[in-house]
A and B are shown apart, each in its own frame.
Chain A
């Protein structure tokens, strides 16, 4: 009976995929959803590639998955992946469905699946990746993720015991999941060009993951990312098996130390979070067995898609648009930090309200008080525009953060944001937007660019 259900799910999923493609759709969610509806254990039954790499974590998993896919393609592989679609169970099912033949066996040797960390229970036991990269664990939407320790407990519970882990040594939370699993670590030494560390409101790893006593940070990069130790039980952050020890921004090279031997790789981008993504990808590929030379050659050709970052110089101004991820305080804080580090006078447009809550509910704005709006209170941030339905909450948050009232502009509708930017006061304008507000952000950005061109 179960075999029949699986065959039916496979056939229905394949038909749905075919029909949707005819209609010009990506078919990266619904076919998998349909297959799972017909056969709930479809993910367990569908064929997997011989080598399957999972990538999960709060931030960076899409970039790392894409890098791994591109590098593997460069090595002549044809990886099955969900890069064009969903990272929950239906997305994984759709990807595996596409790679499967009519018998359900996988026709590809290698796969890279981005896996939503909150969906661990539904994906990991069924898919059983051979390798799993965990980029980091931060607090994210409280509605979905509760808190990072909860997500870590899910990973602990559902990561298959045979999966080899590739973990961020500089994250005391994610580096301690599934302690019995075989693992390697990646990490980054303090780099000379890093800006001074700002105090964050949120440091989620304050207590020892082993004994629960307070830990001391020897070096803290941001939030709980850094190296720490516990004086009570002796726990220390692990040293990276793949440790980025230097990065030359001018030459565009990063040096990774591995077993006392260093290897140079091309840096795909020089922001610290991109370096974490890059060294995670290197660690994964080395663990699988690719040589440093192969990886270095692959990274020479690697193009990181900068869909989340756009910058242009227009007349006397520099205009920058960055995806900031609403409801995700750490991702927003990283961008506030980036803005604060930019030299010169600047205006910041905040388009951070949750799209779905705006339509049907009322957004839980607690996350605003975990995000470091204090970084925007520095002298050279001459204007902050709180845009959207939650503009009054954002204004209050900015005031509490210490942003003077006369630097805050409240704009209720995105269409009015560009006109409200005071271009006479600043040389740089930043548009920070929530993922699902990209269209709005582009509209605002284009309107600001137009004003800059006409000025």
Chain B
């Protein structure tokens, strides 16, 4: 996995700005750490040295901090200023991180939702819709730890660590050599440990997942067991499975924690070696006390961001996976129905025609409908009939201009003009059709209503819309006897008044009232030789 998803930087404005600002803040933080170390060693050195200090012990870097800072009266205010700057940098970083994180999530969510709504009704109905909702709500929220915790540490690791290394090199090159020799060991050992433990932890992971699935299976069945009066037995089994799962988990953790162990061991031990070496070189007079103190304070700071990146890596992995899923949706091509900006015609008194229309199912195994031809004339109630899954709803979608067929043609002729959906403006086409699906959506307030009530409301809207084409999917399915005959009656009277009315149904009442009945059939696609 890449540390920063380039698509995030390229396509989401707040993400790009945030990365730049965080890098600047990283440099600011690095500078405060440097000045803090130099100031502390300036103030502390005179009381540690056996004789009065005469020359600048910090070498060329001493120019950054005046010699006068050896006196508390001058040094302490400077140190306080540095501390305040660092507090400020931390505060700004935190504020920005949360804000940028939520903005990125919002922007990405809006983009994905907008894209998904353009993917067409069949894509949404195939279960992808629910997946999208999960991805853009709970999934993308996982991006916050990535922005708030992981990315800043990554930036610090790429600013503070190299800067401190250069500073230590300027102060005291032998210490810098120790750091430079140990620093590459961190990734090398992490990779080695990772390689050794990968197979083992995968085996443990599999075992854990299996045990977890079996426990959840047992738990999911509680109501069933209760209904049969057999709920008492499995509790011992729950404990047994849990204990086995715990053993597997611990076995995998023993290995997984090794990489953390190596990281901590290498970084702390390196600091210890630097300190001990400095001590012995002080005795020999190879290094000044001021430099020794500054290096002692700076050495842990070289390693700290690396350690933190390791700590926050896993927390951010979920968010990165969600971002990946979001971009996978965004990268799917949008289906184009009709010709945007194409022909427009008035549908008053329109005859809609399907000629040999086939639409392949999402798995490509069947055409539903297959080679369907029908004519829906104005003034008539046309009914589509056939078992579930044969393509009645899909035929309605094609008539409504919501879906382009894979084969065949959808045409509309009114006032002596005939246009095909493929060259028409699909939006203008759709806006003249009052289409009502099986489970109508009425916005947030509609969610409070029962399916039957929602349906009545949706039909109220469609029947009163005054649109010349009415396309209804199983209009009477959830209605009781009285409401059913009332709805059928209104459909018939609207047809008599000149509307083009098409309904998909199983209901004998509606089939009896129809002027024309069309049987809809699916067919298996013959595999190409």
Q: Do A and B come from one complex?
A: no
State the A residues within 8 Å of B (CB): none
State the B residues within 8 Å of A (CB): none
